[in-house]
């Protein structure tokens, strides 16, 4: 079982998103990921240096709104996820940059494997 990030990081998630994971045909993954995947994250912002990626980890929910913690399952292609910023000291940097409606990407290296939109600010207020 994957431990919830609230237990690991001893804090609240930073924001919540709706997401789509790209299929191989869309230029993304060969298969859907398991819960606990730790992708990098990118969103457009003039203050970012070119090629900047951030360690924001998604925590996926099932269609009933429950965290998916069974590592033998895959996450849905579409859904909601809570997002965690790994380095707590970076939360302040993103506080005035991420807003409801901000569009971002799940990244594997320089490859976009999913897209998301911020729908709720939790620990960026």
pTM of the model: 0.92
Burial of 116 (0-12, 13-18, 19+ CB in 10 A): buried
What CATH number should be reported for the domain holding residue 43?
Answer: 2.40.30.10
- Cα(59)–Cα(65) distance, rounded to whole angstroms? 11
- Cα(37)–Cα(39) distance, rounded to whole angstroms? 6
Per-residue pLDDT tens over the stretch 69-118: 999 999 999 999 999 998 888 889 999 999 999 999 999 999 999 999 99
Give the range of the structural domain holding residue 19, as residue numbers without chain letter: 5-121
Q: How many CB atoms lie within 10 A of CB 26?
A: 13
Per-residue pLDDT tens over the stretch 10-42: 889 999 999 999 999 999 999 999 998 989 999
Number of domains into which the chain is organized: 1
Q: Which of 4, 1, 11 is nearest to 85 (CA)?
A: 11
């Amino acid at each position: 079982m994957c431990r919830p990030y609230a237990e690991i990081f001893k804090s609240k998630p930073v924001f919540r998103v709706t997401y789509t994971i790209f299929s191989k045909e869309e230029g993304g993954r060969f298969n859907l990921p398991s819960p606990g995947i730790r992708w990098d994250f990118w969103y457009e912002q003039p203050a970012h240096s070119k090629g900047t990626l951030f360690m924001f980890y998604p925590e996926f929910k099932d269609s009933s709104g429950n965290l998916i913690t069974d590592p033998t399952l895959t996450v849905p292609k579409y859904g909601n996820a809570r997002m965690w910023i790994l380095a707590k000291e970076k939360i302040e940097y993103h506080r005035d940059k991420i807003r409801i409606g901000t569009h971002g990407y799940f990244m594997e290296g320089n490859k976009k494997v999913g897209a998301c939109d911020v729908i709720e600010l939790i620990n960026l207020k």
